[in-house]
Amino acid sequence: MNLPPIIVIGNGIAGITAARHIRKKSTKPILIISKESRFFFSRTALMYVYMGHLKWEHTQPYENHFWKKNKLDLLEETVTQIDPNKKTITLSNESILSYDSLVLATGSIPNKFGWPGENLKGVQGLYTKQDLENLEELTPSIEEAVIVGGGLIGIELAEMLHARGKKVTFLVREKSFWNNVLPKGESALINKHIVLHGIDLRLETNLSEILEDENGRVKAIQTDSGELIRCQFVGLTAGVRPNVAFLKDSTIATKRGILVNKYLETNQPDIYAIGDCAEQQEPVPGRRSIEAVWYTGRMMGETLAKTLTGTKTAYHPGHWFNSAKFFDIEYQTYGLVAAHPEDPEIHFHWQDSNKNLAITIAFDKNTNEFLGINSFGIRMRHELFDQILSEKRSVFHVMEHLSDCNFDPEFFKSYETEMISKFNAMQHTDIKPKKKHWSRIFNNLIAQ
């Protein structure tokens, strides 16, 4: 007897994590549907394939035989319709499939804002495998490129094209790069770093129109000031939005994304949403209702798998963290550091005078509770900051134990003494840095 399967729409980190963890505890049939690629791949690795650091097969965390071995069926198709009453989905080839449980993990798509010419050849985002393939095909004919949008994908695309010898103009509508996320000093640091890498950074500049040549391809863009910039490629990287357009005629409730409760349930029975496409109806205080981040997608997948295998479990995202790379500056954040802090949050900022190294520590000026840290060029220990945040430690405790939090090997220069000296001057304190003791650090981690 053929049982209706658990159907997962989307094979990104959220959907695949859910499928893997369901399989660990259940023998139910699992069908994964995606038109983008047959096998799950690391989306953050797309830039490294283009830059020649990786081959495509290196982006696949699992061997091709993994799927058959674990009885995870794959179907390269597109879902066009969902009928929650009949518990069926319709595919683009008009075939109809029944499901027992349905997991929507359809991810994100690049934002478009109705710019004239935004659908011309040579205009695209960088999100899918097909985007990478299109860019590779266009690259030989590109001399100048324009990137629109000052986020993480934008700076990645700028680095990629620059690495291939292309002249890159970077349009950022804000006064400073990523200043809705980074505090002022950090954003200024990245502005300078972008320019030093040969990128023509245009702040407070908006795209007005994309101009077409006689072959239907982009030939230039016009800014809101009327300036024409010649180019053969335009990267649209002004953020992403949940991929939910295929649900517009369904009874599944959506807003910006697919609305879910704390158990990742939609308003329809046996239909769930996870990852970038899911919108929390009651997000954790201080967190966004939609978080298009790799680790939250993974956590949602693990959480939902527990529910679908008999243990109903609420989604708890834990403490916020993220990481990125701005050319050769590594960035990490743990906890919450506001770009524009409001009382009672205040910041301590330290920056090296010669190197691209900086930290910003956020804390409550009334209670001195540590709220979060941003780190540039200095690797920090995730486990220790997670523990510090859970224990609601004070900023003084963090400063005292900065050397323990530093992940860099011991032969790297230590900057903790300089940081603490500046902090003491700011707070009129006399904190003494504790000497790093590796056995204590590892014992603490093992104890967790």
- When pLDDT is averaged across residues 202-207 and rounded to a whole number, the result is 97
CATH placement of domain 123-238: 3.50.50.60
> C-alpha distances in angstroms, 159 versus 125, 156, 170, 235, 395?
14, 5, 11, 12, 36
Q: Indicate the domain borders of the chain.
A: 6-109+241-308, 123-238, 321-447
Mean pLDDT of the chain, nearest integer: 93
Instruction: Please give the share of the chain, as a percent, with pLDDT higher than 90.
Output: 81
pLDDT at 40: 87
pLDDT at 367: 97
Q: Shortest CA distance to 234 belongs to which of 171, 145, 151, 115?
A: 145
Show the CA angle centred on residue 233, arms to residues 227 and 237, nearest 5°. Answer: 85
- When pLDDT is averaged across residues 157-186 and rounded to a whole number, the result is 96
pLDDT at 336: 96
Same fold, 6-109+241-308 and 123-238: yes
- When pLDDT is averaged across residues 198-220 and rounded to a whole number, the result is 97
pLDDT band at 334 (very low <50, low <70, confident <90, very high): very high
pLDDT at 39: 85
Asked if pLDDT for residue 142 goes beyond 80, the answer is: yes
Asked if pLDDT for residue 30 goes beyond 90, the answer is: yes
Asked if pLDDT for residue 155 goes beyond 60, the answer is: yes
Give the model confidence (pLDDT) of 407-437 as tens digits.
876 556 778 889 999 999 998 888 877 765 5
Asked if pLDDT for residue 446 goes beyond 60, the answer is: no
pLDDT at 138: 97
> C-alpha distances in angstroms, 207 versus 125, 152, 317?
15, 18, 36
Angle at which helices 152-163 and 184-196 pack, to 10 degrees?
Answer: 20
State the sign of the Cα–Cα–Cα–Cα dihedral 225, 226, 229, 231.
Answer: positive
Q: How far apart are CA 69 and CA 195, in angstroms?
A: 49
Q: What fold characterizes domain 6-109+241-308?
A: FAD/NAD(P)-binding domain (3.50.50)
- When pLDDT is averaged across residues 399-410 and rounded to a whole number, the result is 82
43 Cβ contact partners less than 8 Å away, ≥ 6 residues apart: 12, 13, 127, 294
Asked if pLDDT for residue 448 goes beyond 50, the answer is: no
SS (H, E, C) the chain: CCCCCEEEECCCHHHHHHHHHHHHHCCCCEEEECCCCCCCCCHHHHHHHHCCCCCHHHHCCCCCHHHHHCCEEEECCCEEEEECCCCEEEECCCCEEECCEEEECCCEEECCCCCCCCCCECEECCCCHHHHHHHHHHHHHCCEEEEECCCHHHHHHHHHHHHCCCEEEEEECCCCCCCCCCCHHHHHHHHHHHHHCCCEEEECCCEEEEEECCCCEEEEEEECCCCEEECCEEEECCCEEECCHHHCCCCCCECCCEEECCCCECCCCCEEECHHHEEECCCCCCCCCCCCCHHHHHHHHHHHHHHHCCCCCCCCCCCCEEEEEECCEEEEEEECCCCCCCCCEEEEEEECCCCCCEEEEEEECCCCEEEEEEEECCCECHHHHHHHHHCCCEHHHHHHCHHHHECCCCCCCCCHHHHHHHHHHHHCCCCCCCCCCHHHHHHHHHHC
- When pLDDT is averaged across residues 363-369 and rounded to a whole number, the result is 97
- When pLDDT is averaged across residues 386-398 and rounded to a whole number, the result is 96
| The two three-digit tokens of residue 5, written as one number | 């399967």
Asked if pLDDT for residue 15 goes beyond 70, the answer is: yes
pLDDT at 439: 43
CATH class of the region 321-447:
alpha beta
Give the model confidence (pLDDT) of 253-270 as tens digits.
999 999 999 999 999 999
- When pLDDT is averaged across residues 84-106 and rounded to a whole number, the result is 97
Asked if pLDDT for residue 345 goes beyond 70, the answer is: yes
